[in-house]
Amino acid sequence: MAQLEQHIVRGNRRVVCIFGIGGIGKTALAQAFGRRFAEVHGGNLISLAGTRELFSLDMLDERLRRTNTPTLVIVNDAEQLNGEAREHLLGRLLPQFPHCRLILTSREIFHDPRIDWVLHLDGFNDAESEQLLQSLLGDRLYWTDLKSHKIYDTLRGHPLALNLIAGALKSGALTPDEISRYLEPFIQQGVRSPDGRPLEEESEPYTTIVSNVTTVSDEFLNKLADNPSLLYEVSPRAFEEIVAELLSRQGYSVELTPASRDGGKDIYIATKDSLGSFLYLVECKRYAPDRPVGVGFIRQLYGTVQAERATAGILATTSFFTRGAKDFQSKVEFQISLQDYLGIQKWINAAL
C-alpha cells in the first residue's frame, strides 16, 4: 500500500502493474488501494472486474469525460488483453485523459514501455504466514505441525491456500497429516507398466500401446464417418467423449467435466493464438432425431457463458434445433454456436 501510494499519488506514475500468480492477492491489494485513493485523496474509482468489460471501451471513455477529478482505473487479468484493447488503454485513453491513473493486475509479465512501475507480489515468509494462521485459527495454532509436515514449503506462503488450509483445520475436516498427504502431486504423465514404472518412449511396449490406442480411435471415427447413425447407439457420456476427441484433434486444449452435475457445460475447450486466449464451454445433447433441442437449453448455455465470463458457448447434438432455438442463437451469434447432426459429421471428417 505504501509503495502504491508513493508511486501513484506522490510520484505521479500513471500506469502500475501488479504481477503475481493466481490467488496471491493482486486484486485484493488493488481494490484496497482504490478505496483508499477514493476516501483519502478524494479521487474516483473505476474497477473493471475482468476483461469482458473492455469490449465496451466507449463506456469507459464516457465515464472519464464526465469529470476532471483524479480517477483510478483498475483492470484485472490484464494478461488477457488483446493488442487492440491494450493500445486503446495505454495509447489513446491515457494521453486523452491526464487525470486518469491505471492499475493493471496480471499473472504474466508483459513488457510495455508505457508501464511506469511493476510491483511483484510474492508469498508470505514464515513469520507472515504464522501471523495469518494465528489470526485465522486463534488459539488453535497448528504452525508446528504444518512446518513438521513441510506444508509451508508446499504452499510457499500463498495467502489464498493458507486461508483454505486454515478453514479445513478449524472445521476439523482435515488434520495436518491429511493435508500433507493431499498436497502431494498426484498427476503422473506418460505411459506406465502394471507395476507403475514409466515406460521409455523408445521401448516396444510404449510404442505398441500408443499405436493401438490411436488405431482404435481412428477406426471408431472412420466407422462414424461411414455410418453417422452410430452416434444414436452410444451413451450420452460416450457422446461427450467423442465430441472432446473431435475438438482435441482440431487443436484445442480440452477438459471434460465430471459425468454428472456439470453445471450446464460438459466440456471446456481453450485456444491461444496471436489474437489472444479464448475459452469455450461445450454442452452435449445425445438426442434421437425426432427430439429437437429447444430454446430453453440455448438460453441456459448463454447464461452459463455469461456467468463464467467465457468467450462463447457451443451446443452440440445428434439431433437438430427448433426454430425458436435458431432464432435466439441468431441474436447472440458471436457468443453461441449450434452444431447439429450434420455439424458433428463435419467435425468427424475434419478430425480424420
Of 32-41, 185-194, 270-279, where does mean pLDDT reach its minimum? 185-194
In terms of Cα–Cα distance, which of 239, 218, 238, 213 is closest to 344?
239
69-95 per-position pLDDT tens digit: 889 999 888 887 777 778 888 888 888
Domain ranges, ordered by start, for the chain = 2-120, 126-182, 224-351
Return the amino acid letter for 221: L
pLDDT, averaged across the chain: 82
pLDDT at 187: 52
**Fold held by 2-120:** Rossmann fold (3.40.50)
Indicate if the pLDDT at residue 210 is higher than 60.
no
The CATH number of domain 224-351 is 3.40.1350.10? yes
pLDDT at 120: 93
pLDDT at 54: 47
The set of cell numbers assigned to 233 is 447407439
Continuous segment of H or E residues that includes residue 46: strand 44-48
Confidence of residue 126 (pLDDT cuts 50, 70, 90): confident
pLDDT at 3: 94
Query: Parallel, antiparallel, or unpaired: how do β-strands 44-48 and 253-256 relate?
Result: unpaired
Indicate if the pLDDT at residue 194 is higher than 70.
no
Q: How far is Cα 192 from Cα 77, in angstroms, rounded to an integer? A: 38
State the average pLDDT over residues 175-192.
68
pLDDT at 51: 47
Indicate if the pLDDT at residue 143 is higher than 80.
no
Indicate if the pLDDT at residue 167 is higher than 60.
yes
Return the amino acid letter for 229: S
Q: How far is Cα 8 from Cα 19, in angstroms, rounded to an integer? A: 16
User: Whole-prediction pTM value?
Assistant: 0.51
State the average pLDDT over residues 259-270.
69
In the numeric block, the cell 434421437 is attached to 288
Indicate if the pLDDT at residue 214 is higher than 60.
no
Which of 55-59, 175-179, 299-303 ranks highest by mean pLDDT? 299-303
Angle in degrees, CA 198, 202, 203, rounded to 5: 65
The set of cell numbers assigned to 72 is 483510478
Q: How far is CA 157 from the centre of its chain?
A: 22
By CB atoms closer than 10 A (0-12, 13-18, 19+), residue 309 is: middle
Of 231-235, 238-242, 279-283, 291-295, where does mean pLDDT reach its minimum? 231-235
Report whether 255 contacts 267 (CB < 8 A). yes
Continuous segment of H or E residues that includes residue 268: strand 267-273
Report whether 247 contacts 256 (CB < 8 A). no
Q: How far is Cα 150 from Cα 246, in angstroms, rounded to an integer? A: 43
Confidence of residue 281 (pLDDT cuts 50, 70, 90): very high
Which of 74-78, 155-159, 300-304 ranks highest by mean pLDDT? 300-304
Q: How far is Cα 234 from Cα 344, in angstroms, rounded to an integer? A: 14
State the average pLDDT over residues 338-342.
90
